[in-house]
């Protein structure tokens, strides 16, 4: 009888109560680890957060890109060489090449110097500080060669080309006045300065795609945060007992009352 009553009592336990009893207990460190299915559910429920975040960040980035002035880049190439009549016949070709490459590295650093910046600004009458001039200027050695590529950026393509050419000529003149290794080293401008037809910045499409990716990742993070702060509410059948339970409870009470009256 005891076992029969226990089974009967269990049959009368509402389904929502059984789910509460069978639910896994949370750990004291902050709860159980969510399953992949729960993570996908969080993304599905907060998909609007992800889309809105990605759209807003992309629109803002593209808008700022269109507001910026186009920047053009011009470059010129300079060859560092040594006069043939000053070369020593006892010196091997490999050692001469290595020495010139080292000189080329030194000349590359000289291009970025304040001395070159001030000289070009004075020559062209530019209204710019040497610090800002150097920010627009880059110089690098082309691999393991004796060529130096000088790049200059400006909002005007004509001015960018003019400045790049002036930098090459200024370097050539200053090298002719200095003798780094007690030998006749020359810096020759290798052709005219070249300027890009299209602006190198901004790039609205590239910036927009990057902002879209970053916005979607940020939106996913926000979706997980909202899910953590405002977890999904239980459905109605999990919170409230089924409506057909009330008559059964009333029937049990009436049967109990008759049992007392006849007992």
pLDDT tens for each residue of 19-60? 544 444 444 345 567 788 888 888 888 899 999 999 999 999
| 29 inside domain | no
Domain presence at residue 21: no
131 shares its domain with 52: no
d(CA 151, CA 79): 15
Choice between 41 and 120, residue whose per-residue pLDDT is larger:
120
| Token pair for 24 | 């896994």
Q: What is the DSSP string of 221-240?
A: HHHHHHHHHSPPPPPHHHHS
Cβ atoms within 10 Å of 44's Cβ, excluding its own? 9
Query: Same domain for 45 and 79?
Result: no
Please check whether residue 147 lies inside any domain of the structure.
yes
The answer as to whether 189 is a domain residue is yes
147/185 same-domain check: yes
Are 76 and 185 in the same domain?
Answer: yes
How high does pLDDT run on average in the chain?
A: 78
Shared-domain flag, residues 218 and 123: no
pLDDT tens string 227-262: 888 875 444 444 455 555 555 555 555 545 555 554
Q: Does 214 share its domain with 185?
A: no
Which position has the higher pLDDT, 164 or 44? 164
User: Are 61 and 80 contained in the same domain?
Assistant: no
Task: Give the pLDDT mean for 93-107.
Answer: 76
On the question of pLDDT at 108 being above 70, the answer is yes
- Domain that residue 76 falls in: 72-195
pLDDT for residue 29: 43
Exposure on the CB side of residue 20, measured as CA atoms within 13 A: 12
pLDDT at 94: 57
- Please indicate, yes or no, if residue 9 is contained in any of the structural domains: no
CB 155 within 8 A of CB 185: no
pLDDT at 193 over 80: yes
Number of domains in the chain: 2
Q: Give dist(CA 112, CA 110) in Å, integer.
A: 5
Comparing CA positions, the residue from 206, 190, 122 lying closest to residue 150 is: 190
Does some domain include residue 221? Answer: yes
User: What pLDDT does 12 receive?
Assistant: 56
């Amino acid at each position: 009888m005891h076992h029969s009553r226990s089974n009967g009592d269990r049959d009368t336990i509402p389904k929502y109560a059984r789910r509460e009893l069978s639910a896994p207990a949370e750990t004291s460190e902050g709860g159980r680890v969510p399953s992949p299915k729960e993570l996908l559910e969080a993304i599905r429920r907060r998909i609007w957060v992800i889309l809105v975040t990605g759209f807003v960040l992309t629109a803002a980035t593209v808008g700022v890109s269109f507001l910026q002035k186009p920047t053009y880049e011009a470059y010129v190439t300079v060859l560092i060489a040594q006069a043939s009549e000053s070369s020593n016949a006892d010196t091997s070709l490999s050692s001469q090449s290595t020495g010139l490459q080292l000189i080329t590295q030194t000349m590359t650093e000289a291009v970025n110097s304040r001395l070159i910046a001030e000289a070009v600004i004075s020559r062209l009458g530019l209204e710019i500080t040497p610090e800002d001039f150097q920010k627009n200027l880059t110089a690098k050695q082309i691999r393991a060669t004796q060529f130096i590529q000088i790049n200059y950026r400006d909002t005007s393509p004509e001015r960018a080309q003019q400045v790049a050419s002036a930098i090459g000529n200024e370097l050539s003149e200053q090298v002719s006045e200095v003798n780094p290794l007690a030998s006749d080293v020359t810096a020759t401008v290798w052709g005219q300065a070249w300027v890009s037809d299209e602006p190198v910045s901004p790039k609205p499409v590239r910036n927009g795609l990057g902002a879209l990716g970053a916005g979607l990742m940020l939106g996913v993070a926000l979706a997980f945060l909202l899910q953590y702060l405002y977890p999904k509410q239980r459905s109605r059948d999990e919170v409230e007992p089924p409506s057909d339970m009330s008559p059964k409870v009333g029937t049990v009470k009436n049967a109990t009352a008759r049992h007392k009256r006849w007992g």
